Amino acid sequence: MTVERGKPSVPNSLSRRNNKKEQAMEGIGTVAAVGGIILALVLLYAVIANRKRSANDVRRTEEATRALNQQIDREDKVSDPDTKTF
């Protein structure tokens, strides 16, 4: 161990361990940043692709949603015949 002026002496093994931890933390930050950018791009693509839907697509989706909701309501009435509504 050498003592530099104004710096406390640190064994080389501790210095190397801290350096590896710092490098790992920098790597994690980079991965998080890249992941955030990818997520933003995917969301942007989804919004742009969703804007291009035609009136026919919207109508078909609404009809399918309405039919599914009616089916679920019928199944609920069969499994729970209580007629109280909230």
The predicted-structure confidence for 28-83, as pLDDT tens digits, reads as follows: 888 999 999 999 999 999 999 888 888 899 899 999 999 999 999 999 888 876 66
pTM tops 0.75: no
Secondary structure (3-state) at 15: helix
Please determine, for residue 25, whether its predicted confidence score (pLDDT) is greater than 70: yes
More confident residue, 9 or 19: 19
